[in-house]
Amino acid sequence: MEDHKLRAFCLAIEMKSFSRAAEAKFMTQSAVSHLVRKLEDELGVRLFIRKGKTVIPTPAGKLLYGHAKRILEQFTKMEDDLSALMQRVKGTLSIGADITAATYLLPQVFYSFSKDYPEVKVDLSVSSAETIMNGLR
């Protein structure tokens, strides 16, 4: 998700400074300034009045800030919900494969799968294709 521009923008408003926002995010001041400028270019509106090292939101900046905070809260909720969903996947997955697939194809697949679904137990049955098909019937 490309939310870094909105996050930099909100932090600059909250800190009233690109420099302080940059410090809080372990970024350079120019990186934060660049993100905000790109956001201004995308929206076609000026978001800040720059007075030395202090920034003051324009009316458009104030309006965007309210929306951006809600959007970022929804991003966070979405990420949390997806993480929770992933954690609920558990049980046993039964797979049948012939010797070639079990030897050469499935080890990498199972490795990746087990990282994404650590609570799922994989039960692998290695036999001929005919035996696997009969088992499915």
pLDDT for res 2: 65
pLDDT for res 117: 81
> Residue 117 in contact with residue 88, Cβ under 8 Å?
no
Indicate the class that CATH gives domain 89-136.
Answer: alpha beta
Neighbours of 20 (CB within 10 A): 18
pLDDT for res 23: 87
Question: Global pTM?
Answer: 0.60
What are the extents of the domains in the chain? 4-85, 89-136
Indicate the class that CATH gives domain 4-85.
Answer: mainly alpha
Query: pLDDT tens for residues 90-126?
Result: 778 888 888 888 888 888 888 888 888 887 888 888 8
Regions of the chain short of the pLDDT cut 70: 1-2, 88
